[in-house]
């Protein structure tokens, strides 16, 4: 799931890996002909602004409603249409034996690790030392936070001449979860969010890139039937050693047997999904092929076969 900053950079909001179609860079529609055109244009512009603000609030509130993109891209009907030859998204694995032996853990961002909301801006960027569960928020100054602490921080995103404040809450147990995963895996955050938002958020969470080795954003997703999907084969890693954790199974529909679905998180301070996930990840880190274990544990392929609406039929090919 990702925070949605549209292609024309005029809106920011959440959607379950929802894509947008091609359109004008400024997101405007063609002017009509005839009398009263100026008044109509002004009314349409005002209505459009109201719609954009409504989209921001609805999406950032975590709405599960699905809206058709205003401008849909040409429908991509088969897996072959979507998966085109391209260079790997990640750099080559390091030459050391430890680096070569380490599997890859792909983590979604929004509603998996954090929850963000939009507010009026600007705000002063909260410093990493005072803001994030990674850097020390949740406990007293200079001390690490309690393991289950929920941290909060804010930063500004400038879009279309306006400044928006993004307010972020981290999922409980995020710090010990990432600390442990960084020792077991090559950790990658792969998000359907725009880089202008996600990069700033990750800079606060992990300013030294000590825990999260690589960052992959929306422009590396595959657009399939209006959704942003994460093709793990594009990472350039052996899929037998790749695991993805995402609150939207549709997002990893091309490689269902590599995925761990996790409950979406918004504001429950008692949530312990990340902590409970660690034993499974520790087992997967020692496995030669993660896919049989994950396929048996979650049976996502059977779930999709019983409910085809959960994913395009071509996922099952």
pLDDT one-digit tens code per residue, 134-184: 443 334 444 455 666 788 999 998 877 888 899 999 999 999 999 999 999
What residue has token string 């849909």? Answer: 72
pLDDT tens digit sequence for 111-120? 999 999 988 7
CA dihedral 279, 284, 286, 288 (to 10 degrees): 160
Phi then psi dihedrals of residue 163, to 5 deg: -105, 125
Where are the chain's structural domains? Answer: 79-115+171-316
Residues of 73-89 as b/e, b for ≥16 C-beta within 10 angstroms? Answer: eeebeebeebeeeeeeb
Q: Determine the topology of domain 79-115+171-316 in CATH.
A: Rossmann fold (3.40.50)
* Cβ–Cβ < 8 Å for 307, 249: no
Alpha-carbon separation of residue 185 from 39, 134, 145, 242, 284 (angstroms): 58, 17, 23, 9, 10
pLDDT at 297: 94
Q: How far apart are CA 278 and CA 241, in angstroms?
A: 16
pLDDT band at 196 (very low <50, low <70, confident <90, very high): very high
pLDDT tens digit sequence for 48-61? 554 554 454 334 33
The residue among 250, 230, 264 whose CA lies nearest residue 63 is 264
Active site amino acids: 108, 110
Cross-strand pairs, 310:
none
């Amino acid at each position: 799931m990702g925070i949605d900053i549209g292609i024309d950079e005029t809106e920011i909001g959440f959607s379950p890996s929802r894509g947008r179609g091609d359109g004008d860079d400024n997101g405007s529609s063609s002017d009509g002909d005839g009398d009263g055109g100026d008044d109509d244009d002004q009314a349409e512009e005002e209505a459009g602004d109201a719609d954009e603000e409504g989209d921001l609030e609805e999406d950032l509130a975590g709405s599960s409603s699905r809206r058709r993109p205003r401008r849909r891209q040409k429908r991509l009907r088969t897996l072959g249409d979507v998966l085109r030859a391209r260079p790997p998204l990640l750099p080559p694995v390091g030459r050391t034996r430890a680096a070569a032996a380490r599997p890859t853990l792909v983590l979604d961002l929004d509603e998996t690790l954090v929850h963000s909301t939009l507010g009026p801006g600007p705000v002063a960027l909260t410093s990493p030392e005072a803001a994030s569960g990674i850097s020390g928020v949740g406990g007293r100054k200079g001390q690490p936070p309690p393991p289950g602490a929920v941290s909060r921080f804010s930063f500004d995103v400038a879009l279309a001449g306006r400044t928006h404040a993004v307010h972020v809450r981290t999922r409980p147990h995020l710090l010990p979860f990432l600390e442990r995963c960084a020792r077991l895996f090559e950790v990658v955050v792969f998000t359907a969010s725009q880089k202008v938002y996600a990069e700033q958020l990750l800079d606060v969470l992990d300013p030294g890139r000590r825990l999260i080795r690589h960052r992959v954003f929306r422009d590396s997703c595959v657009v399939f039937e209006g959704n942003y999907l994460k093709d793990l084969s594009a990472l350039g890693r052996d899929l037998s050693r790749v695991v993805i954790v995402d609150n939207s199974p549709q997002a990893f529909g091309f490689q269902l047997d590599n995925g761990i679905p996790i409950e979406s998180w918004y504001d429950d301070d008692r949530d312990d999904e990340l902590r409970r996930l660690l034993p499974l990840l520790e087992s997967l880190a020692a496995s030669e092929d993660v896919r049989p274990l994950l396929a048996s544990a979650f049976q996502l392929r059977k779930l999709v076969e019983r409910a085809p609406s959960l994913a395009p039929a071509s996922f099952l090919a």
